[in-house]
Amino acid sequence: MSDLTIPIPQNFILGASSSAWQTEGWTGKKENQDSYIDIWYKNDRHVWYEGYGPAIATDLINRYQEDVDLMKKIGLTHYRTSINWSRFLTDYENAIVDEDYASHYDNFITAMLESGITPMICLEHYELPAELFYKYGGWGSKHVVELFTKYAQKVFERYNHLVKRWFVFNEPIVIQTRVYLDAVRWPYEQNTNTWMQWNHNKNLATAKVVQLFRNNNYQGTIGTILNPEVTYARSNSKEDQQAAKLYDLFYNRVFLDPAFNGEYPQELIELLAKHHVKWDYSDQELEIIKQYRVDEVGINLYFPHRVKAATKEWNKNMPFHPAYYYEPFDLPGKIMNKSRGWEIYPKIVYDFAMRVKQEYNNKSWFICENGMGIEDEKRFKNSDGIIQDDYRIDFISMHIYWALKAINDGANCGGYMLWAFTDNVSPMNAFKNRYGLIEINLEKNRARSMKKSAFWFEKLIKTRQLAIKLDDQYK
């Protein structure tokens, strides 16, 4: 083990992320303002941890000033959240703004700016309006793409003078993969065609919002946030390598290639056709995707993905699923975050950075989410009641270490945004796994208090020196 102190470049962002629905808890919501998340909860409450849903969340809408003060104390320069599409409008067809809801974001964004914190705002973090899900099948519909563009315009009109860093989607692949590909989430409907249609319509919506942004000459940048799973093959065998390559094609390149290069990989289009996956796309839409590319990509990185060649023949009576080509590989001896069931492998940051350098022309990107959710953190409180989350400090340190090493080797990684600033509601896991620098005490009216990691992050931002104990193999 060696003790190292590594300087953090001045322009490397040290911030934190969250989303509207996981924090806001707005009580003014009207009956027609549910989001997909709300109806998932309403229809399938028993799968949510202790029956806890997103209704109150961290009560940010009433306590934003307290949170902004804490951001300021810690020294955050950037904070990312979303605007909740389902709440921002009262009428989705005509894009009528809900003035009551929007006024809270007016205040929150202004409070951040007054405290010297740059707001980074995302337009959709799973907050598809339920009405559009029921009426049109959500992102399967081109009409919904048009309605999203109208919504985006209203948000830009209201905030473009305040917000200079925008993002279209957060993790656009997630909902349809859980719902329509794996059928493990409400409404549990396996349909690979629908899965691909949602993928494509979200790529199209991204390009259309970029087009809108450019046509109106809004100042600042427009990006998107993806969650590629850094994928490793079990071995160097031809078969395992092919399994990893195809896993990457179906789950990562389906969004990475349009974002960075403006087009789908030809091999993906061919394989979808070979397996009779039907999705509605036109040359004109592909041209829009090509022409209107994002300025930057935020990347959410939590854990590695490991695969091996498929060992069983695919049941030909089943609809096509990319698992036709791979099986999960369970690495013996892997280091785990047992609370979340996710492997810890911080080198994913370096490997992803090198990939962007080599395969995507070293385009601009940054770590938009990374963090560690831990169950029952109360057990780590010291006698002063402060959670001693050294495991989180180690986790963050190692991921930043690999980012800095990548930058040293020429990567174009612009920063590190922790998930999350405060503990918040997780899809299905509710408040089970805590991610925050700031504890939210549910027993004490959601009182906020800094964890040990918050004091550590404050020092990191102030000194811009990463002090780390490193296993010699990584030096």
Active site residues: 171, 369
Binding residue (CB under 6 A) for ligand BG6 from 172, 262, 298, 373: 373
Other Cβ atoms within 10 Å of 116 Cβ, number: 11
Nearest distance, CB of residue 247 and ligand BG6, angstroms: 18
Q: Is 228 in the site for ligand BG6 (CB under 6 A)?
A: no
Q: Give the containing element (helix H, strand E) for 99.
A: helix 99-114
> Which listed residue (268, 429, 452, 474) binds ligand BG6 by CB under 6 A?
429
Residue 239 CB: number of other CB atoms within 10 A? 14
Of residues 78 and 340, the one with the C-beta less far from ligand BG6? 340
Tell me the number of residues near ligand BG6 by CB under 6 A: 14
- Return the bridge partners of 297, or none: 224, 365
Give the relative orientation of helices 452-463 and 60-74 as an angle to the nearest 10 degrees. 50
Closest distance between ligand BG6 and the C-beta of residue 144, in Å?
21
CB closer to ligand BG6 out of 95 and 254: 254
Binding to ligand BG6 by residue 426, rule CB under 6 A? Answer: yes
439: contact with ligand BG6 by CB under 6 A: no
Per CB under 6 A, the list member of 13, 19, 185, 411 interacting with ligand BG6 is 19
Distance from C-alpha of 419 to C-alpha of 302, rounded to nearest angstrom: 10
CB of 399 to ligand BG6, least distance (A): 14
Instruction: Give the C-alpha separation, 426 to 420, whole Å.
Output: 11
CA distance 57 to 60: 8
Binding mask 159-198 for ligand BG6 (x = CB under 6 A): -----------xx---------------------------
Nearer to ligand BG6, 22 or 453 (CB): 22
Residue nearest to ligand BG6 (CB): 426
C-alpha pair distances (Å), 466 with each of 6, 81, 403, 450: 5, 26, 12, 20
Task: Give min distance, CB of 300 to ligand BG6, in A.
Answer: 5
- Integer Cα distance of 390 and 405 in angstroms: 22
Asked whether 349 and 408 are in contact (CB, 8 A), the reply is: no
Q: Of 106-114, 176-184, 401-409, 423-431, which segment contacts ligand BG6 by CB under 6 A? A: 423-431
* Least distance in angstroms from the C-beta of 464 to ligand BG6: 26
Checking DSSP bridges between strand 296-300 and strand 305-309, what pairing results, if any? unpaired
Cβ-count burial 415-435 (b if 16+ within 10 Å, e if not): bbbbbbbbbbbbbbbbbbbbb
**HSE value, Cβ hemisphere, 13 Å, CA-based, for 113:** 14
- Looking at 348-389, list the stretches that DSSP marks H as alpha helix, in order from N- to C-terminal side: 348-359
Interface with ligand BG6, residue 340, by CB under 6 A: yes
The window from 3-11, 176-184, 426-434, 455-463 that contacts ligand BG6 (CB under 6 A) reads 426-434
Query: Judged by CB under 6 A, which of 206, 227, 231, 370 binds ligand BG6?
Result: 227
Interface of this chain with ligand BG6, residues 442 to 461, rule: CB under 6 A: none
Q: Output 33 or 227, the one with its CB closest to ligand BG6.
A: 227
Q: Does 300 bind ligand BG6 (CB under 6 A)?
A: yes
Residue 433 contacts ligand BG6 per CB under 6 A? yes
Residue 374 near residue 434, CB atoms below 8 Å = yes
Q: How far apart are CA 106 and CA 123, in angstroms?
A: 15
Residue 17 CA to its chain's centroid (Å):
9
The reply to whether 85 sits near ligand BG6 by the rule CB under 6 A is: no
Work out whether 33 is an interface residue with ligand BG6 (CB under 6 A).
no
- Binding positions for ligand BG6, 239-268, rule CB under 6 A: none
Minimum distance between the CB of residue 163 and ligand BG6, rounded to whole angstroms? 19
Q: Which is nearer to ligand BG6, 163 or 226 (CB)?
A: 226
For helices 60-74 and 99-114, angle between their N-to-C axes, nearest 10 degrees: 10
Out of 64, 419, 421, 457, name the contact with ligand BG6 by CB under 6 A.
Answer: 419
**Any contact of residue 427 with ligand BG6 (CB under 6 A)?**
yes
SS3 content of the chain, % helix, strand, coil (to 5): 45, 20, 35
Mark the segment that binds ligand BG6 (CB under 6 A) among 83-91, 272-280, 317-325, 427-435: 427-435
* Dihedral sign (CA 377, 383, 384, 389): negative
**Residue (292 or 302) nearer to ligand BG6, CB:** 302
Q: Does 369 bind ligand BG6 (CB under 6 A)?
A: yes
Cα three-residue angle 173-170-180, rounded to 5 degrees: 25
| Residues contributing to the site for ligand BG6 (CB under 6 A) | 19, 22, 170-171, 227, 300, 340, 369, 373, 419, 426-427, 429, 433
